């Protein structure tokens, strides 16, 4: 395993006493190479940054190694890992703070093939490009292959349902999973299991008000939660328990809570990390529903919100979130459990989301944001470790849209518009972060940049170069050999 750079490591010891930021271990988690594929997947610099070549990340010419890594096509399993609101600037901030400028984000930076995809959505009225997407339209793009309007979940610009990868995979006999750190009803997990015209239609109450055409009492398929239960993924893990107390307004489960409906449908429900650890099987006879928070799951790092004069304040260190207790599973643990439960002869499709990178970004909270990027890294590392052992697994890692955070020059004499925060990270140098799309925390907005997408395993070459956010739907279903019309 490579070091993270002589200067970076030395600074880390000086600043953190041998520990990386926020008290985690000093490991670069995950191995540096894949001997079977003859690919060096380490991307950490291991030299003296002040010397020529000290910052280089490539140990040797990559041509043959990359050629070897793309020989095989056709995957048995696909793991799609999403960092909500995670584009290059969010990855750069997390890398600089937690692993150092010369370091690598475990898992994410080790993926050997990479590209970018465009993320624009459509204007519902004009049907022309909307240059800044939301999570609902972006998720619908990769899950169904269909561009749509902001706020749409699994439907096109006319409100017509479009089948998702998860639904098609299940119809073709594969096992399926859906894991998130947000509410299960939030846009990214919802796009794989539901079809509603407005993303906030979490339960029967909201659906009757916000998207009545989807309500069961009006002949629709129901709220996001009702459709989630009907979609019947083998493994479903996240937050959003509050909605399960709502009562169905019509249909076979009329007058019953969604919790009661889940139990009658045969779901095994777990509510804590300890209960999740004890689960040894999940299938169509008894699918697993793990719900670990009333709303979004707590972030692993405490908030440190940017302010208007933040450049003139002392640099701060991120700290653990006291609300994240041992009863809450971490995303890496949920990913590993989902893989263990889904693996087998049938093959599987699994979507995993670190959803609160976006939510902390909206709140101009760099520490919350970085901590959830660490969670993203942990999830990718779990997926990559499995894929390296099982050479029939394609791992794809991306974000759904760009966001507002930027690493800027640390100059307290400059009057920076927007909100700023200065952090003291691994290298022992201050990192200035700017949020410039709003002057109010909680109101920061998405941006329209293209987003990095990277992959490992059979079919990984499809991410190389510039693609669109709709492309993953097609090459994932093709790599899995799925009949997209099969019901």
pLDDT on residue 217:
98
The chain-wide mean pLDDT, for the chain, equals: 92
Q: Give the tens place of pLDDT for each residue, 64-85.
A: 777 766 767 899 999 999 999 9
Q: Is the pLDDT of residue 426 over 50?
A: yes
* Confidence grade of residue 404 (pLDDT, cut at 50, 70, 90): very high
What whole-number distance in Å separates Cα of residue 426 and Cα of residue 104?
A: 12
Q: Is the pLDDT of residue 393 over 80?
A: yes
Q: Is the pLDDT of residue 392 over 80?
A: yes
Total number of residues shown for the chain: 487
pLDDT on residue 21:
45
* Confidence grade of residue 33 (pLDDT, cut at 50, 70, 90): low
pLDDT on residue 11:
35
Q: Give the tens place of pLDDT for each residue, 249-258.
A: 999 999 999 9
Q: Which of 121, 135, 356, 377 is labelled catalytic?
A: 135
Task: Tell me which residue of 258, 260, 77, 277 sits closest to 184, measured CA to CA.
Answer: 258
Domain covering 76-479, topology: Alkaline Phosphatase, subunit A (3.40.720)
Q: What pTM was computed for the model?
A: 0.92
Mean pLDDT of 142-161: 98
Question: From its phi and psi, is residue 26 left (phi > 0), alpha (psi between -120 and 50) or beta?
Answer: alpha
Lowest mean pLDDT among 37-51, 117-131, 132-146: 37-51
Helix (H, G, I), strand (E, B) or coil at 322: coil
Q: Is the pLDDT of residue 389 over 80?
A: yes
Portion of the chain with pLDDT greater than 90, in percent: 84
* 326 given a catalytic annotation: no
Q: Give the tens place of pLDDT for each residue, 230-288.
A: 999 999 999 999 999 999 999 999 999 999 999 999 999 999 999 999 999 999 999 99
Task: Tell me which residue of 270, 312, 282 sits closest to 412, measured CA to CA.
Answer: 312
Residue with more model confidence, 310 or 31 = 310
pLDDT on residue 38:
58
Q: Is the pLDDT of residue 146 over 50?
A: yes
pLDDT on residue 4:
35
What whole-number distance in Å separates Cα of residue 29 and Cα of residue 196?
A: 39
Mean pLDDT of 375-394: 96
Whether the CB-CB separation of 84 and 451 falls below 8 Å is answered with no
Residues linked to residue 455 through DSSP beta bridges, in sequence order: 113, 396
Measured in whole angstroms, how far is the alpha carbon of residue 60 from the centre of its chain? 31
């Amino acid at each position: 395993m490579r070091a993270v750079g002589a200067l970076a490591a030395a600074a880390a010891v000086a600043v953190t006493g041998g520990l990386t930021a926020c008290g985690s271990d000093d490991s670069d988690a995950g191995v540096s190479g894949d001997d079977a594929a003859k690919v060096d997947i380490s991307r950490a610099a291991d030299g003296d940054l002040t010397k020529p070549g000290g910052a280089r990340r490539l140990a040797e010419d990559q041509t043959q190694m990359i050629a070897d890594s793309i020989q095989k096509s056709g995957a048995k399993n696909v793991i799609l890992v999403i960092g909500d609101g995670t584009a290059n600037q969010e990855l750069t901030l997390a890398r600089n703070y937690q692993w150092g400028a010369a370091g690598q984000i475990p898992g994410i930076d080790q993926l050997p093939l990479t590209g970018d995809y465009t993320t624009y959505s459509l204007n519902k009225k004009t049907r022309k490009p909307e240059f800044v997407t939301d999570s609902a339209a972006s998720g619908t793009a990769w899950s169904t292959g269909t561009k749509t309007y902001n706020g749409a979940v699994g439907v096109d610009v006319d409100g017509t349902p479009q089948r998702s990868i998860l639904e098609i995979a299940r119809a073709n006999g594969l096992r399926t999973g859906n894991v998130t750190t947000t509410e299960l009803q939030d846009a990214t997990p919802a796009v794989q299991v539901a079809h509603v015209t407005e993303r906030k239609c979490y339960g029967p109450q909201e659906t009757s008000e916000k998207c009545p055409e989807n309500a069961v009492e009006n002949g629709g398929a129901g709220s996001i939660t009702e459709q989630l239960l009907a979609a019947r993924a083998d493994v479903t893990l996240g937050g959003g328990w509050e909605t399960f107390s709502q009562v169905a307004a019509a249909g076979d489960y009329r007058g019953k809570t969604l919790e009661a409906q889940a139990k009658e449908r045969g779901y095994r429900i777990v509510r804590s990390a300890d209960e999740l650890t004890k689960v040894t099987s999940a299938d169509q006879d008894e699918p697993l529903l793990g719900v670990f928070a009333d709303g979004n799951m707590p972030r692993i790092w405490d908030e440190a919100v940017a302010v208007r004069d933040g450049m003139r304040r002392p640099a701060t260190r991120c700290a653990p979130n006291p609300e994240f207790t041992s009863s809450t599973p971490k995303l890496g643990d949920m990913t590993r459990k989902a893989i263990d439960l889904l693996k087998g002869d049938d093959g599987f499709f699994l979507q995993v989301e670190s959803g609160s990178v976006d939510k902390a970004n909206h709140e101009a909270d760099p520490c919350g944001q970085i901590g959830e990027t660490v969670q993203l890294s942990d999830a990718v590392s779990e997926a990559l470790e499995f894929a390296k052992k099982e050479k029939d697994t394609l791992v794809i890692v991306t974000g759904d849209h760009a966001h507002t955070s930027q690493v800027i020059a640390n100059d307290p004499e400059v009057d920076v518009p927007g909100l700023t925060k200065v952090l003291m990270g691994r290298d022992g140098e201050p990192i200035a972060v700017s949020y410039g799309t709003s002057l109010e925390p909680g109101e920061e907005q998405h941006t329209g940049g293209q987003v990095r997408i990277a992959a490992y395993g059979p079919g990984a070459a499809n991410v190389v170069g510039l693609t669109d956010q709709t492309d993953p739907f097609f090459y994932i279903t093709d790599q899995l050999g799925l009949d997209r019309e099969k019901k």
